[in-house]
Structure 1
Amino acid sequence: MAGTSSTFRATTTWDSHSIRICASRLLQQHSSGGWGACASRLVGGTLTIHQQLENRFAAFKHAQAALLFPTGYMANLAVLTTLATQGDLICIDKLTHASLIDAAQSSGATVRVYPHGDLAKLRRLLSRWHKQFTQHAPIQALSSKTDMAPRLPRALVVTDSVFSMDGDLADLPGVIALAREFGAISVVDEAHGTGVLGESGAGLCELQGVSGQVDVVISTASKALGCLGGIVTAHKLVIQTLVNHARSFIYTTGVPPMQVVAIDAALDVIRDEPQRRTRLQSMSQYLIDELIALTRKRNAGFTLMQSRSENYESRMTTPIIPLITGSAESSLALSKRLRERGFLAPAIRPPTVAPNASRVRLSLRCDLGDEDLQKLIKALADD
C-alpha cells in the first residue's frame, strides 16, 4: 500500500542507491561474466555467487542446505512434484497459496484439502492414511527416490505460514506435531513471513520456535526482500533430491547474477535494520486497533476478519489487513475510493477468494509515516 497527498509513492523496495550497491557487488564478484547465468544450473549455469547465497540463506533459515529458483512458483512446483507422486497423500490447508495447490495437483498424489486451520480435520486425514499403510516413508527415506527404487507411500502436510489473503498465522507447532506423529513430511511456505516475523526476520518458524523442525521451508525473495526468486531450505538430502529430480530446477536457466546480489543485499538489510520489522508490526497493530474502533462505532462498509481465537486484537501481527466488503462491486468501489485518496489497495474478488468474501487488501510497508496512516483511517471513515 502506498500513500501520499498528491500521487502514489513508489512501491519499489529498492532506491537508486541500493541498486548502485548491487551493481557494484556484481562487478566485484562476477566481473568476468555477463548479466545472465547463461545455462541451466546442472550444465554450467551454477556460479559461485549462487552457492554463496544458498549457503547464507540456509544459515539464515537454520537449515542444512538451500536451493535457489528463479521464482517462488517454480520452487513450490519443484518441492511437491518431486517429493510426492501417485500413491502418496498431500494434505493442504484450504487457504494455502494457489501455486502450492497447483503443485499438489500436478504431483499425481492424492490431494486432500482441509478447512483453514482445522487441525482436527488434518488429524483425521493423516490417521486414515496411517491406518491404510502399516509402514510409511518418512523424510529420511528420500534416498529411495533419489535412487529411483520402489519406495513406500509418503504423506506431505502443506501450509502457508502467513496466509496471503487473510494475513493470519498458521499454528506451526500444531501442524508439525501432527506431521511427526503420523510420519508425514511438513512443508511450510514462508513467502509472507520471511523478513517480517521472528527475531532475525527468518519468519514464522523462528517466531513460533520451530526453526529446524519443519522438513521443508519455501521462501520467496519477491515480498519483504523486494527482489525475485524462490528459495527452498531443508535437509541436504532433500536439496540433493531436488537438484537431481525437480524439473523446474533442471530445465531452466540459472538465476541471473544481478538477482542473486540483490537478494544478498536484501539479507543485509534484514540483518542490519531490525527496526524495520519493529516499525511494521507496530503500524499493523495500531491500524488494526483503529479499524476495530471504527467498525464498532458505525457501519464502515467493511468488516475485519473474524479471529479463530477469542481475542482478535492480539492475533494479527502481520502487515496484511483485509477489509471484507462481501460483494465484488463494493470491493471495487472501496478500492477506487482509496486510490482517489492516494492509496494503492487492490480489490480481491472471486475466484481468488470465496464468493461473498471479496475484500480490499491492505499491505503495509515500514516506510509509511504516521501521517499516512491517519490519512488512510480518515479515507476509510469518510463515506
Structure 2
Amino acid sequence: MADIKVPVFSESVSEGTLLAWHKKPGDAVKRGEVLAEIETDKVVLEVTALQDGVLVSTAKNEGDTVLSEEVLGVVGDAGSAPAPAAETVSGPVANEATAGGTAAQPDSGAGNEATRRDDLSPAVRKVVVENGLNPAQIPATGPKGNITKADALGAVGQQAAPAQAAQPVTPAAVIPAGARPEQRVPMTRIRQRISERLKDVQNTAALLTTFNEVNMQPAMDLRKKYQDQFVAKHGVKLGFMSLFVRAATEALKAFPVINASVEGKDIIYHGFYDIGIAVASDRGLVVPILRDTDQMSLAGIEKAIGGYAQKAKAGKLTLEDMSGGTFSITNGGTFGSMMSTPIINAPQSAILGMHNIIERPIAQNGQVVIAPMMYIALSYDHRIIDGKEAVQFLVMIKNLLEDPARMLLEL
C-alpha cells in the first residue's frame, strides 16, 4: 500500500482545492500516471502514482480543500481492490515522467534517453524529464550545439497541443432559461489571486501610463525577408514578440530604474533581465518568465514563448515558470485591442503593452502615406520612475523597432 499525498506547496501557498480525480476506486493505475489535479492560487498541480497497482480508496472529494502533504487516497497492489479491465498502455506513454511524480525506470529503448543523458544542464534536464522528452529529437541552438532551456520549452510546446483536449478547463457559465436569468459561479483560486494582486497594485502603486506609436513596416519587412531562412534553421517562426523582448531588454539596460522594484523604503536594482510574457489561459491570465533575456537569441525567445503558451493552455505551468520577473510585456493586440493601460505585475515597476497593427495615414517625409501602425503603452510606478525616464524608455523601444538593424547590431 502507498498513500497518495498532496504535493509540497511553496511557502506562499497555504492550501489548495482538489480540482478533479482522473481515476476512481478500483481503477488500475501505472507509475507516473496522473491521478488527480489540485488547484492553488498560482498553478494547477498534478498528483501522480508512485507505483503500479489499483486505486484502493480516496479520502477527499472534488472541490474539497486540501493541505500540503495531506493524504488523498491509497494505491495498493492488484489484489487490494476489484479492478476493472484496464486498457493496455505501451510505448513512450508508459514511461512518461510527469511534474511532481517519479520517472519510470529506464530500459534499453530510445524513448528513455531523456533519463540517461548526462550532458544536459540541470534546468534543461528538469524540463526534459518532467515532460518525457527525448533529447535526441530536440533541435539544439546552443553555442556549442547543446540543448538550451528555450529549445526544451519549444519541444514541450510542440508535444502539448494534442494533449490539450484531455485537459479539464473551466466551463463556461450556462445561463438558465427565464425572463431575467442569473447564475452564481464561485471564483477559482487562481482567479481570486489574480483579483487580489491587481487590486493591491492599484491601491499601493502610483500608476501612470505613457503612450507612443510604432511604424511596424521595417519589422514586417525584416520578418518577410528572412522568415523562410529563419524557420529552416531554427524550426520556429520569427514573430514580433521576440523583437519586442529584444528591444525591451536593450531599453532596460539604458534605463535601469524601469527594471527595478520597490521593497519597503528601498529600490532594488536588478542586474539581470527576466521578462514576463502575459499569456491567456482557460484559468486566467498567467505570466511565465523568460530568464536572462540579454543572453537569449531571437529563436530562443520564440521557442520559449511558444512552449510556455502551450503549457499554459494545457495547465502545465509550474511555480518555477512564473516565479520572479523584473519586467513584463502583454499583447492585447492578439485579441484586437487598439489601446489599453496595462496594470503592472507587482513587485515589478513597469509593464509594456502591445496592441494590434492597423494601417493608418501618417506624415512621412512631408507626405501622407499609409503605414501599419501599433500603439504601445508603458504603465509604470511613479513612486520610483519619473515621467522623463518612462517616456525616453518608450521612445527607445519605438526607435529600435523602427530600425531593427540597430538593435540586432547592438548599435
> TM over 0.5, yes or no?
no
Pick 1 or 2: higher relative contact order, CA cutoff 8 A, min separation 6.
1
Q: So what's the TM-score if we normalise by structure 2?
A: 0.27
Specify which structure has the higher proportion of helix.
1
Bigger Rg, which one: 2
Specify which structure has the higher proportion of strand.
2
